Amino acid sequence: MDIEKRVIELVEEKIADRPDLFIVDVKMHASGLLTILIDGDQGVGIQDCAGISRHVGFYLEEENVIELAYHLEVSSPGLDAPFKSIRQYSKNIGRSVTVKLTDNNSKEAKLLQVEESGITVEENIKEKGKKAQLVNNFIPFDQIAETKVLISFK
């Protein structure tokens, strides 16, 4: 049985009545750690994580899905975690992001729009000898290696 697939089914079952919540990632590590990353359009609370943990844990034990000792961890992705789904992009519209491109260049910009094929960002472009200009750029997902929220301590 595919453990990760069963866990996804259990989580989807638990959050079926919560359209604001969504799965970011489920991973069974060789160390016996089972991680479930959950996010929400308005964030995710500790009660949500606890409820999902209890639900998943109960059924995994009941069905004896995992033979070995394991540790279940349910959390939201940290601020420094790269986006894994379009919903994470949508949730962060209006925020500053760092976009690492597949050509190893990176951009710091404000996330304006998300589409099936990519994102539109607003960049502050400064050409030598000219005033900085705000420019909107579309970046296709196939050119994006990683996107993270830009954490500023100003």
CATH number for the domain spanning 47: value is 3.30.300.20
Pair (50, 101) in one structural domain: no
Residue pLDDT tens, the chain, 154 long: 699 999 999 999 999 999 999 999 999 999 999 999 999 998 899 999 999 999 999 999 999 888 888 999 999 998 889 999 999 999 999 999 999 999 999 999 999 999 999 999 999 988 888 888 999 999 999 999 999 999 877 6
3-state secondary structure the chain: CCHHHHHHHHHHHHCCCCCCEEEEEEEECCCCEEEEEEEEECECCHHHHHHHHHHHHHHHHHHCCCCCCCEEEEECCCCCCCCCCHHHHHHCCCCEEEEEECCCCEEEEEEEEECCCEEEEEEEECCCCCCCEEEEEEEEHHHEEEEEECCCCC
Which of 26, 27, 1 is closest to 11 using CA atoms?
A: 26
The pLDDT of residue 132 is 85
- Domain-located, residue 80: no
Pair (47, 107) in one structural domain: no
Can you tell me the distance from the alpha carbon of 36 to that of 24, in angstroms, rounded to the nearest whole number?
8
Can you tell me the distance from the alpha carbon of 113 to that of 50, in angstroms, rounded to the nearest whole number?
32
The pLDDT of residue 54 is 96
The pLDDT of residue 1 is 63
CA dihedral (111, 113, 115, 119) positive or negative: negative
Q: Read off the tokens for 19.
A: 């359209």
- The CATH number of residue 122's host domain is 2.30.30.100
Pair (69, 92) in one structural domain: no
Sort residue 133 into left (φ over 0), alpha (ψ -120 to 50) or beta.
Answer: beta
The whole model's pTM is what?
A: 0.79
- Domain-located, residue 135: yes
- Sheet of 106-114, strand order: 133-140, 118-125, 106-114, 96-101, 144-149
The pLDDT of residue 129 is 84
Pair (114, 69) in one structural domain: no
Pair (100, 45) in one structural domain: no
Q: Which domain holds residue 109?
A: 86-149
The pLDDT of residue 154 is 66
Domain count, the chain: 2
- Domain-located, residue 81: no
Domain end (from 24, 48, 75): 75
